[in-house]
Structure 1
């Protein structure tokens, strides 16, 4: 009986664990071996895009693949942040699960979430990557 009660309590506790936002300053930087593009200034006008992934239990073991205009830019684990130098203008920012095994979740494109985000030359803007309690990826602008 005690064992069943412990499993029940653990299940209830984990079921309500959505991710929690942190600022880019609180986050750990993404290691350079997981930054694949947009890590140097290119030709033309550009701005900085700071992408920070929430902390929390939901999906914590699985990295998120970050795409800018369809180009794989980085893999972020929970509590990490990356600053990318991207061309100015309207950009499509996408995220999907990355990794192997359970992290693949079958068809990656079925779980990909995208937003259009304006990058202004010489300015810095921020994006938040979060996972809802149901495991859906959320990509949204943030002031933090």
Structure 2
């Protein structure tokens, strides 16, 4: 019995981890959950592509993305979004839209060059919460 309980917990938590999905295979975030940076700016700009993993962890809750302290999108599991931003450094934030977890916002500085497309990945993992990292997916 002492071994059975930890084994069941490990198996249950492993089943809750999220899995990366390429942006090209993910669904687009619906227009009603897009709030900013959807129009290409005049002059040179960069594209920020953010894709949320598939999987069970936090699957029923959207991840609230902000760019420069401005709400940008609510991203569901297996969804992707493109933002069109002026070149330069921006702060991108991600927070799980889950009142019960009350996890802090995760923020990353992203340097954008003109004409560049940068890809970031949102993962949600048990015991860790939301993370936002550069990705090749």
> Is the shorter-chain TM-score for this pair beyond 0.5, marking a shared fold?
yes
Higher strand share: 2
| CA-atom RMSD in angstroms | 1.9
Q: Give the number of equivalent residue pairs.
A: 131
Give 1:40's aligned residue.
Answer: 39
Tell me which of 136, 139, 142 is aligned to 2:135: 142
TM-score by length of 1: 0.83
TM-score by length of 2: 0.87
Higher helix share: 1
SS at match of 1:137: strand
Listed one character per residue, the Cα deviations across residues 10-66 of structure 1 (whole Å, up to 9, x for unaligned) are: x65432221111110110000111100000022443110000000111111100000
Counterpart CA distance in 2 for 1:106 and 1:23 is 27
Counterpart CA distance in 2 for 1:64 and 1:58 is 12
User: What are structure 1's unaligned runs of at least 5 residues?
Assistant: none
Larger mean CA deviation between 14-23 and 58-67 belongs to 14-23
